With several copies, the nearest count.
Chain A
Amino acid sequence: MNYPVIVDVTLRHGIADPEGATIERALPALGFTGVTNMRAGKSFRMDIDAESESAALEKAAALAQRLLSNPVIENASARSGAKG
C-alpha cells in the first residue's frame, strides 16, 4: 500500500533562527501585530510504499533523521499526510 506522509523539520530549541526573527521584524510594517515567536521550518510530503501506515511512518521517521534533517540543530517528526 501507498501512504502519504509528511515530515516536519523544525529548529531545535535554543538554536538561533535568523529567518524567523527577520520575518517577525517585518510584520508590524505590514500591519500584522501581536505575532511573536516566529520560527521557520521545513516540511516534506511524500508517498511511502509500506505494509501499514505505522510502517510508513516509521520509514519516514528514519528518513527524517538520516537525510531530511540535521540532528545537530533540528528536530524532525513524521505524521500521516492523509486528509483528516
Chain B
Amino acid sequence: MKIGVVVFPGSNCEYDALNAVQSLGVEAEFIWHTNTDVEGFDGVILPGGFAHGDYLRPGAIARFSPVMEAVARFASSGGAVLGICNGFQVLTEAGLLPGALQKNAGLTFLCQPTTLVVESTASVLTRGATKGQELVVPINHFSGAYTCDDATLASLEANDQIVLRYTQNPNGSRDDIAGVRNVEGNVVGLMPHPERAMSTLLGSADGRVLLEGFVRAPVGAH
C-alpha cells in the first residue's frame, strides 16, 4: 500500500497529509506536479493549500499541471483519488468532480471546527464510516461554498454522490454539501480537513475513520 501526495507550487498541506497517512502506518510519498504518471501508487491525495496562489480561481491553473492528466487516467481506471480543500477545488476545475467552489458566503476565510454528517458510505473516503455518523473536522478555506446548478444537484442526490454534509452550514454551500464523490465512488473531494483531525492532542481524532477508509486496500483489489 502506497499513497501519493501531489505537490503543486503553492500547496501547503502536503506535509500534513503525508504525516496523517504515515501515522496510520501506511507508506506515503510526494508526487511533484510535473510528473506525468502516478504509477506505483494505490491512492492519490491532492492536499490543501493555495496551488499557484489560488490566482484566477482556486485550482484553475493547477488543473493544467502535467500530473493531472495522470491523475485523470488513474481515476478512470478505478484508482482512489482524494481532494482535500484546495485539492477538492482542483478536482472540480479538472472536471473530475461535479460542481464548483465559490467564495464563502461571509466573504472571509474561515478556520473553525465543523460537525459533518456522513451521508453516503459508498466512497473510498467514507467506506469505513457509518451513514448518519457525526464527525468533528475543521474547515480552513476562503472558497468553500459548494455550488452547482439544479440539474447537477438532482443528479448528485439521485446517485447518492453527496458524501458529507455540514450540520450547521458555515459557508453558504448549496444544500449543506461538504463533500461529494464521482458516480463510481473512487474520486472524492471535501472542503474540511480530515488530516487535521487525527489526534485528540490537536482537538479531534474524528478524521481517522475517513483516512483509514481511504488508505485501506483499493476498491476492487480483493
* Contact of B92 with A by CB under 8 A: yes
Q: In the complex the two chains form, is B93's CB within 8 Å of A16's CB?
A: no
Contact (Cβ within 8 A) A18 B145: yes
A67 to B57, CA, bound (A): 9
| Number of chain B residues whose Cβ lies closer than 8 Å to a Cβ of chain A | 26
Q: Flag whether B103 is at the interface (Cβ < 8 A).
A: yes
- Asked if B102 contacts A26 (CB within 8 A), the reply is no
Taking CB atoms, residues of chain A closer than 8 Å to B64 are 26, 29-30, 67
A67 to B147, CA, bound (A): 19
Alpha-carbon gap, A37 to B93, bound state (A): 25
Q: Are A23 and B149 in contact (CB under 8 A)?
A: no
| B60 and A70 contacting across the interface, CB-CB below 8 Å | yes
Q: How far is the CB of A8 from chain B (nearest CB, A)?
A: 14
Instruction: List A46-84 residues whose CB lies under 8 Å from chain B.
Output: 67-68, 70, 72-73
A75 to B163 alpha-carbon distance, docked (Å): 29
Q: Is A2 an interface residue (CB 8 A)?
A: no
User: Judging by beta carbons under 8 Å apart, are A22 and B53 in contact?
Assistant: yes
Chain B 114-168 residues near chain A, CB threshold 8 A = 145, 147-150
Enumerate chain B residues within 8 angstroms of A23, measured Cβ to Cβ.
55-56, 61
| Interface assignment of B104: CB less than 8 Å from any CB of chain A | yes
Please name all residues of chain A whose beta carbon is closer than 8 Å to the beta carbon of B102 when the two chains form the complex: 15-16, 18, 73
A30-B64, A67-B60, A73-B102 as given contacts; A19 in contact with B149, CB under 8 Å = no
B126 to chain A, nearest CB (A): 24
Residue B81 CB within 8 A of the other chain = no
A34 within 8 A of B: no
Q: With a CB–CB cut-off of 8 A, which chain B residues contact A70?
A: 57, 60, 93, 100
* B107 interface contact, C-beta 8 A: yes
The reply to whether A19 and B107 contact each other, CB–CB distance below 8 Å, is yes
- CB neighbours of A73 from chain B (8 A): 100, 102, 147
Q: Answer whether A19 and B55 are a contact pair too, CB < 8 Å, given A26-B61, A72-B148.
A: yes
Asked if B213 is at the interface of the complex by the 8 Å CB criterion, the answer is no
Contact, CB under 8 Å: A22 / B61: yes
Knowing A18-B105, A26-B61, A73-B147, say if A67 contacts B99 (CB, 8 Å): no
> With A14-B149, A70-B93 given, is the CB distance from A19 to B100 under 8 Å?
no
Nearest residue (CB) in B for A66 is: B64
Minimum distance in angstroms from B149 CB to a CB of chain A: 6
Give chain A's interface residues, CB within 8 Å of chain B. Answer: 12, 14-16, 18-19, 22-23, 26, 29-30, 40, 67-68, 70, 72-73
Interface residues of B (CB under 8 A from A): 52-53, 55-57, 60-61, 64, 92-93, 98-100, 102-107, 145, 147-150, 172, 174
13 CB contacts below 8 A, A to B, read A15-B149, A16-B147, A16-B172, A16-B174, A18-B104, A18-B106, A19-B56, A22-B55, A23-B55, A26-B52, A30-B64, A67-B61, A70-B100
